[in-house]
């Protein structure tokens, strides 16, 4: 199937384009970007021009930042295109609900992707936890914003999410791992005095069976980066590390026995092909609701200015 990729930035070049090139389901037939292009692929700088000129391309993948993404998605769905959304799926929960209602009315596929859920050992961790009585779950997601998001000022503006841009990856894993629904009970948002969004956050969740669930997100981590989820149960301890790529149970490393596609984004695009074929939607907003709740109930703490 022909697909158009909108927004040719780092994530598109590093993940989307290689995954599309290797996919048996997709052909990258057009790109839309004011600043980037892909060799050998037809380029448009205007989305409206693309929609008019390439009415034969019925599938669009949106890699734009969350704030402008909504208007592009509305246009695509209104013209009968199937749409794939990078994470987070939008700048607000209401926007995403609107897109889902539009997609269902139009009979097109809408896919809100959570790439970290497709990390190699997430499913194995979920399967092990399914039979356990959970006592405690701790998320530690600490990285260096200067390394991973250099020069991306939009990420500090309203709708850019700040430290929740990586933190929502952890929340997407947690909401897949646990069979019981959580809700946020407390949050602390640590925000530089010269920025709109937090550089660190501490979260606590209410669990229906009383488990102690906490998350610590921090963008000021130098040296070794940490993307870890640790669970304590009646049967022992589980550690999901490296963003979901590594799993140990009671200190014993586990190996994946899955024959599934290798890599997070190839799996996303395989799933998207299924949704397009059936005209179905897959829009789980649980991770985004947790972030929205953090901004609603979180206590603010102002910290030193952040400069690149």
Domain that holds residue 200: 119-257+291-303
How many domains does the chain contain in total?
2
Query: For residue 256, what pLDDT is reported?
Result: 74
Indicate whether 101 and 163 sit together in one domain.
no
Indicate whether 107 and 124 sit together in one domain.
no
Indicate whether 20 and 60 sit together in one domain.
yes
95-116 pLDDT, tens per residue?
999 999 999 999 999 999 999 9
**Residue 280 located in a structural domain:** no
Point out which residues pair with 200 in neighbouring strands: 190, 218
Confidence of residue 259 (pLDDT cuts 50, 70, 90): very low
Cα(221)–Cα(202) distance, integer angstroms: 15
Q: What is the mean pLDDT of residues 156-166?
A: 96
Of 87, 133, 176, 202, the active-site residue reads: 87
**Residue 164 located in a structural domain:** yes
Query: For residue 255, what pLDDT is reported?
Result: 87
**Residue 216 located in a structural domain:** yes
**Residue 271 located in a structural domain:** no
Indicate whether 123 and 101 sit together in one domain.
no
Looking at 112, 144, 159, the residue that finishes a domain is 112
**Residue 267 located in a structural domain:** no
Are 308 and 150 in contact by the 8 Å Cβ rule? The answer is yes
Q: Is the pLDDT of residue 81 over 90?
A: yes
Are 85 and 110 in contact by the 8 Å Cβ rule? The answer is yes
**Residue 239 located in a structural domain:** yes
**Residue 74 located in a structural domain:** yes
**Residue 26 located in a structural domain:** yes
Q: Is the pLDDT of residue 84 over 80?
A: yes
Looking at 112, 139, 157, the residue that finishes a domain is 112
User: Per residue, what are the HEC states of the chain?
Assistant: CEEEEECCCHHHHHHHHHHHHHCCCCEEEEEECCCCCCCCCEEECCHHHHHHHCCCCCEEEECCCHHHHHHHHHHHHHCCCEEEECCCCCCCHHHHHHHHHHHHHHCCCEEECCHHHHCCCHHHHHHHHCCCCEEEEEEEEECEHHHHCCCCHHHHCCCCCCCHHHHHHHHHHHHHHCCCCCEEEEEEEEEECCCCCCCEEEEEEECCCCCEEEEEEECECCCCCEEEEEEEECCEEEEEEHHHCEEEECCEECCCCCCCCCCHHHHHHHHHHHHHHHCCEECCCHHHHHHHHHHHHCEEEEECCCCC
Indicate whether 80 and 176 sit together in one domain.
no
- In Å, what is the CA distance from 82 to each residue of 57, 242, 283, 294? 10, 32, 13, 31
Looking at 112, 141, 163, the residue that finishes a domain is 112
Indicate whether 143 and 168 sit together in one domain.
yes
Indicate whether 92 and 132 sit together in one domain.
no
Indicate whether 154 and 295 sit together in one domain.
yes
- Is 87 considered catalytic here? yes
What's 299's domain CATH number? 3.30.360.10
Query: For residue 258, what pLDDT is reported?
Result: 56
What's 33's domain CATH number? 3.40.50.720
Share of the chain above pLDDT 70, in %: 98
Indicate whether 182 and 297 sit together in one domain.
yes
């Amino acid at each position: 199937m022909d697909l158009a990729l909108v927004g040719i930035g780092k994530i598109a070049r590093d993940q989307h384009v290689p995954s599309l090139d290797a996919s048996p389901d997709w052909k990258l037939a057009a790109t839309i970007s004011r600043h980037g292009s892909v060799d050998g692929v037809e380029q448009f700088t205007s989305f409206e021009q693309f929609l008019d000129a390439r009415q034969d391309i019925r599938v669009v993948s949106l890699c734009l930042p969350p704030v402008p993404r909504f208007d592009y998605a509305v246009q695509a769905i209104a013209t009968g295109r199937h749409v794939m959304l990078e994470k987070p799926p939008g700048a607000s929960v209401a926007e995403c609900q609107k897109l889902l209602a539009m997609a269902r009315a139009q009979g097109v596929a809408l896919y809100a992707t959570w790439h970290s859920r497709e990390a190699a050992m997430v499913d194995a961790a979920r399967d092990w936890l399914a039979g356990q009585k959970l006592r405690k779950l701790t998320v530690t997601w600490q990285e260096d914003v200067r390394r991973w998001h250099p020069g991306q000022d939009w990420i500090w503006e309203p709708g850019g999410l700040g430290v929740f841009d990586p933190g929502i990856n952890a929340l997407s894993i947690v909401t897949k791992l646990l069979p019981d629904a959580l809700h946020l009970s407390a949050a602390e948002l640590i925000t530089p005095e010269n920025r709109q969004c937090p550089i660190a956050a501490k979260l606590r969740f209410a669990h229906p069976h009383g488990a102690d669930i906490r998350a610590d997100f921090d963008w000021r981590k130098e040296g070794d980066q940490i993307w870890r989820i640790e669970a304590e149960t009646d049967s022992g301890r589980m550690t999901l590390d490296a963003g979901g790529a590594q799993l140990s149970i009671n200190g014993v490393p586990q190996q994946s026995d899955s024959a599934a596609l290798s890599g997070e984004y190839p799996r996303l695009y395989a799933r998207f092909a299924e949704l397009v074929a059936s005209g179905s939607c897959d829009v789980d907003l649980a991770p985004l609701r947790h972030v929205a709740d953090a901004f609603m109930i979180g206590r603010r703490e102002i910290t030193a200015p952040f400069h690149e």
